[in-house]
Amino acid sequence: MSLLLIDTDIASFIFKGSDYADPYLPLLNAQELALSFMTVAELFQWTISRQWGDRRLAQLEQYLSNYLIISVDQPLCRQWAQVRSDRQNLGRPISPQDAWIAATALRHDLPLITHNIKDFLEIPNLRLSTSSP
């Protein structure tokens, strides 16, 4: 069993029970799954902005308890700055949110499972997976 970092899109697909999650489930099965603190923040923003209410927020909190949540620390902040700077220098800016997720994967040497590979292209040493083999 290995630890995998799940991008916000995959976590959202699974939480919503979307068919988009299906190709990823075999890859995630019997693995330890982690989320960046940024993914947790994005999921809460999504539910709050849609005014889901307390019951649905409680469901999200329960769902999140299935993951290892990786918090921010100073080396992660430095990695985030490197990712943002590198992508800016390439003329391919990356959103702060995606940079936090990429930096988390790099900082902890974890493969990142994402549906949106284009968001993470040209980041040195980032191991990406977009679906099961």
**Whether pLDDT at 132 is above 70:** no
> pLDDT by residue (tens digit) across 80-125?
999 999 999 999 999 999 999 999 999 999 999 999 999 999 899 9
| Structure confidence at residue 52 as a pLDDT band (50, 70, 90) | confident
What CATH code is carried by the domain that includes residue 72? 3.40.50.1010
pLDDT (0 to 100) of residue 50 = 87
Domain total in the chain: 1
pLDDT (0 to 100) of residue 125 = 96
Domain of residue 71, residue span = 3-129
How many CA within 13 A on the CB side of residue 87?
23
Report percent pLDDT > 90 for the chain.
83
Distances (CA, A) of 57 to 15, 43, 63, 124, 127: 12, 10, 10, 36, 32
- Phi and psi at residue 118, to the nearest 5°: -60, -25
**Whether pLDDT at 133 is above 50:** no
Q: Which two tokens stand for residue 95?
A: 């959103």
Give me the numbers of helices (H) and strands (E) for the chain, helices first please.
Answer: 6, 5
CA–CA separation, 45 vs 58, rounded Å?
14
**Residue 5 parent element (H or E):** strand 3-6
**Whether pLDDT at 65 is above 80:** yes
Mean pLDDT of 33-50: 94
CA–CA separation, 93 vs 96, rounded Å?
9
> What is the crossing angle of helices 37-49 and 8-16, to 10°?
50
